[in-house]
Amino acid sequence: MGRAKVDAAKDFVSALNPDIQIIDHHLRITDENTPAIIKDYDLVVEGVDNFETRYALNRACSALKKPLISAAVGRFEGQLSTFKPYENPGVLPCYRCLVPMAPPRDEQVNCAEEGILGAVTGVIGTLAAMEVIKELLEIGTSLAGRLMLYDGLGATFRTVSLPADPQCETCGTRSRTSLKGG
Ligand SMILES: [Zn+2]
């Protein structure tokens, strides 16, 4: 409360493991600044709370061919996927294939109003960390092309296949605004 998230996160991670080197970026993610920020990193993992930021990260990751691990939570549920559309264009989806258009603002679920259980963010955050490790070490079966859904109240996990959308604005093989180039 009353602090920038980036400062609070930095303190938390430093306390957890002082050997981690942290480079903090205190700014709002946009289409203009994202490519320069992420170009030096091996992958991006996001758990942001708005569609504009997700779309900007998705566009930059697709264009720069960086894996994007995307985690989302709402009340008692969570979802997780890895996006690498550049590895198999037309087959593997990007985030925008999953969510082509942001819902109208008044229909968007807001954590501050809806509430979110810390245990749910714990489950999804830990699963996201596992996917980060897998992508970095190139082990196991990537979540690319699949969406994992967690239902905390039902105590169930489901994994559904997630195809690419040929009309996708970001990675679509039939889209005029494709960032893939070539
Ligand atoms: Zn796409």
- CA distances 102 to 19, 143, 164, Å, are 39, 23, 18
Kindly tell me if the per-residue pLDDT of 178 is higher than 50. no
> Of 31, 33, 90, 39, nearest to 58 (Cα)?
31
Mean pLDDT of 156-167: 97
How far apart are the C-alpha atoms of 138 and 131, rounded to whole Å?
Answer: 10
Name the burial class of residue 147, with classes exposed (0-12), middle (13-18) and buried (19+) by CB atoms within 10 angstroms of its CB: middle
> Of 63, 73, 66, nearest to 169 (Cα)?
63
CA of 162 to the centre of ligand 1 (A): 11
CA of 118 to the centre of ligand 1 (A): 30
CA of 125 to the centre of ligand 1 (A): 23
pLDDT of residue 84: 98
Q: pTM for the full model?
A: 0.90
- CA distances 58 to 23, 122, 123, 134, Å, are 21, 23, 23, 20
CA of 96 to the centre of ligand 1 (A): 5
pLDDT of residue 104: 81
What topology does CATH give the domain 42-161? Rossmann fold (3.40.50)
Mean pLDDT of 5-31: 95
CA of 97 to the centre of ligand 1 (A): 4
Report domain extents, the chain: 42-161
Q: What is the pLDDT of residues 119-151, one digit of tens each?
A: 999 999 999 999 999 999 999 999 999 999 999
Kindly tell me if the per-residue pLDDT of 176 is higher than 70. no
Mean pLDDT of 145-162: 98
* 42 membership: H or E segment, kind and range: none
* 174 membership: H or E segment, kind and range: none
Q: What is the pLDDT of residues 78-119, one digit of tens each?
A: 999 999 999 999 999 999 999 999 888 777 766 567 778 999
Kindly tell me if the per-residue pLDDT of 14 is higher than 80. yes
CB atoms under 10 Å from CB of 170, counted, come to 25
CA of 59 to the centre of ligand 1 (A): 9
Q: What is the mean pLDDT of the chain?
A: 92
CA of 164 to the centre of ligand 1 (A): 6
CA of 107 to the centre of ligand 1 (A): 23
Kindly tell me if the per-residue pLDDT of 33 is higher than 90. yes
CA of 42 to the centre of ligand 1 (A): 20
